[in-house]
Amino acid sequence: MIDRKIRVLIAKPGLDGHDRGAKVVARALRDAGMEVIYTGLRQTPEMIAEAALQEDVDAVGLSILSGAHMALVPRVLELLKANGQERVRVFLGGIVPDEDVPILLELGVIGIYGPGTLSDTYINDIRKAVQAAAA
Amino acid sequence: MDFVQGVLAGDKLALARALTQVENGTPEGRSALSSLFAHTGKAHLVGITGASGTGKSSLVNQLARYYRNPDPGGSPCRVAVVAVDPTSPFTGGAILGDRIRMRDLAGDPGVFIRSMATRGSLGGIAATTAALAQVLDAAGFELILIETVGAGQSEVDIARLAHTTVVVEAPGFGDDIQAIKAGILEIADVIVVNKADLPGVENTERALRSSLDLAHPAPRRNLHHGRVELVHMSDDPAAESASIWAPPILRTVAIEGKGISELAKAIDSHRAHLHETGGWEQRERWRLQSELDLLLTDCLVAGFRSRLPSGIYEQALAGVLERRISPLQAVEQLMDRTG
């Protein structure tokens, strides 16, 4: 059990400019009492890992609608690990084809939340995963 | 984990984790802060404050870039940024969005950016912002830029923390009466009119300048525990008048990088001025005294509350809520109960 604030980085890697979903998730996490570091559009995996390190976040949410998730997500996970942040939980929003979901979950992504997901779903998943990682 | 050795050795992960522990006030954080304190006192703390939307984050971005690559003759220094955004009073959550404007700094190992939420503090920075700055100071960052929340008129805590306070204004943010009200302009060591490419910049600058002309030269008085203390720079009036710093007003267009080297030079000359006039030592004293008093108050209140027999505080509060006793009488009753 952790009693401190959960800190989450929300980032949009890659080149698509649709950040509506990322902002909705950021706002929902804020309303759930979390501290959300919002980094904005067109982040490279290197920028995301660096921000996650400096901000010492508990979780990273990536919003990807460009189809580049199979390249970007493994790279972010790899960089987090290289920085000693393997306990940081990573979740995904955007458009991910069904056949990629098991592969991403296998890599360690805690959840993939497409359009229509209720905010309570990912809020609860993040809380549980962060508490389990801190235990 | 031993944060202290890691922080002093320049390990970013240790630094990031130490900052979290200090921000959360954990026993590990407090012990790390105490060990690191001996290594502090070297950094130049620069506060950047001003209303929301005046361009504070963009200016911080440009300033950090400048200090990493200064004009010929200057040497680059390591820069840390502490960016504060507000915590929701209702949910306790926060959106920390200052990094959006600081993407130019990504990938530079000489820059470290940390976002923090106010967590209930109302003075424009968080209760632990000073402590975070100390950790970054101990970690060897020579310049620490502290960006406050969007500040209006009374969010002046930054002046107690920073050596140099930069107040950021923009055209269209109020008339000349706003400029002579007490508050944020009084704490300015450097005033910036950002977005200087917008119409109305002359009016804004004129209002600020005439406000400053009315105010200076005036010796600085500090509000301390509600009492006004006159700060004596020197016993010699001539020397005191020489030691007064007139805040320059500068124009910048942060997103185009215009006016940034002039701003950096003004910040540097303010630091030099503080060193020449003894103002640096005085601000250090003011800074650390405020911090000491604040910690003392917290400890005294916590200690007092823990010594009160259980239920007494709630009884007093109930009395106040029912208008049977005034808040002042409640305090007197509580004080009597603990002797």
Average pLDDT, chain B: 87
**What domains lie within chain B, and their CATH numbers?**
1-37 (no CATH), 40-277 (3.40.50.300), 308-338 (no CATH)
A26 vs B19, B95, B114: nearest CB: B95
Count contacts between A and B (CB, < 8 Å): 81
Whether the predicted pLDDT of B232 surpasses 70: no
DSSP secondary structure string, B250-285?
A: EE-BGGGTBTHHHHHHHHHHHHHHHHHHTHHHHHHH
Interface of B with A (CB under 8 A): 12-13, 16-17, 19-20, 24, 26, 87-88, 91-97, 99-100, 103, 106-107, 112-115, 117, 119
Burial B92-128 (b: 16+ CB within 10 A, else e): bbbbbbbbebbbebbebeebbbbbbbbbebebbbbbb
Hey, of B3, B96, B144, which one would you mutate to test binding to chain A, going by the most A CBs within 10 A of its CB?
B96
Q: Does A39 touch chain B (CB under 8 A)?
A: yes
Confidence of residue B242 (pLDDT cuts 50, 70, 90): low
For position B150, what pLDDT does the model report?
84
Question: Does residue B154 have a pLDDT over 90?
Answer: no
Q: Which residues of B touch A4 (CB under 8 A)?
A: 20, 24, 26
Q: For the residues A32-39, what does the mean pLDDT come to?
A: 95
Q: What is the biggest distance separating any 2 CA atoms in chain A, rounded to whole angstroms?
A: 38
Q: Is residue B61 classed exposed, middle or buried when 0-12, 13-18 and 19+ CB atoms within 10 A define those classes?
A: buried
Nearest to A55 among B88, B100, B115 (CB): B115
| Residue B69: how many other CB atoms lie within 10 Å | 9
Instruction: Give the closest residue to A112 by CA, choosing from A71, A73, A57.
Output: A73
Q: Do B106 and A51 touch (CB under 8 A)?
A: yes
Read off the DSSP letter of residue B309.
Answer: P
Instruction: Estimate the crossing angle of helix B327-338 against helix B279-307, to 10 degrees.
Output: 70
Mutate to test the interface with B, among A37, A42, A48 (most CBs of B within 10 A): A37
Predicted confidence at residue A2, as pLDDT, reads 46
Which chain A positions have a beta carbon within 8 Å of B112's beta carbon?
A: 54
Contacts of B145 (CB under 8 A, 6+ apart): B46, B48, B60, B63, B64, B79, B80, B81, B82
CA B51/CA A109 separation, integer angstroms: 39
Domains of chain A: 7-134 (3.40.50.280)
Question: For position A1, what pLDDT does the model report?
Answer: 38
Q: Could you count the other beta carbons within 10 Å of the beta carbon of residue A9?
A: 30
Taking residues B227-240, report their average pLDDT: 54
pLDDT at position B237, please?
56
- Of residues B100 and B239, the one with the higher pLDDT is B100
Most confident of A1-15, B3-17, B209-223: B3-17
- What angle is formed at CA B295 by the lines to CA B294 and CA B299, rounded to 5 degrees? 120
Distance (Å) of CA B204 to CA B6, B56, B168, B266: 47, 17, 12, 20
pLDDT of the residue at B339:
59
**Per-residue pLDDT at B294 exceeds 90:** no
For residue B156, what pLDDT is reported?
Answer: 80
* Strand, helix or coil for residue B110: coil
Please give the pLDDT value at position B208: 86
Reported as a pLDDT band with limits 50, 70 and 90, residue B235 is: low
Can you tell me the distance from the alpha carbon of B285 to that of B264, in angstroms, rounded to the nearest whole number?
25
**Reduced to 3 states, what is the DSSP secondary structure of residue A90?**
strand
CA distance B73 to B67: 12
Interface membership of A31 toward B (CB under 8 Å):
yes
B240 vs A106, residue with greater confidence: A106
The partner residue sitting opposite B94, judged by closest CB among A36, A43, A85, is A36
State how far the Cα of B59 lies from the Cα of B263, in Å rounded to an integer.
10
**Residues of chain A above pLDDT 70, percent:** 98
Under the banding of pLDDT at 50, 70 and 90, the label for residue B179 is low
A55/B114 touch (CB, cutoff 8 Å), yes or no: yes
Q: Could you tell me if B309 and B337 are in contact, meaning their C-beta atoms sit under 8 angstroms apart?
A: yes
CA distance A29 to chain B (A): 7
* Highest-confidence segment of A34-38, B48-52, B90-94, B285-289: A34-38
Per-residue pLDDT at B227 exceeds 80:
no
pLDDT at residue A59, as a whole number: 97
Q: What is the pLDDT of residues A63-94, one digit of tens each?
A: 999 889 999 999 999 999 999 999 999 999 99
pLDDT of res. A96: 93
ipTM of the complex: 0.92
Mean pLDDT along residues B11-33: 94
Dist CA B126 CA B75 (whole Å)? 31
Residue B220 has pLDDT above 80, yes or no: no
What is the pLDDT at residue B239?
56
For residues B208 and B176, the answer to whether their CB atoms sit within 8 Å is: no
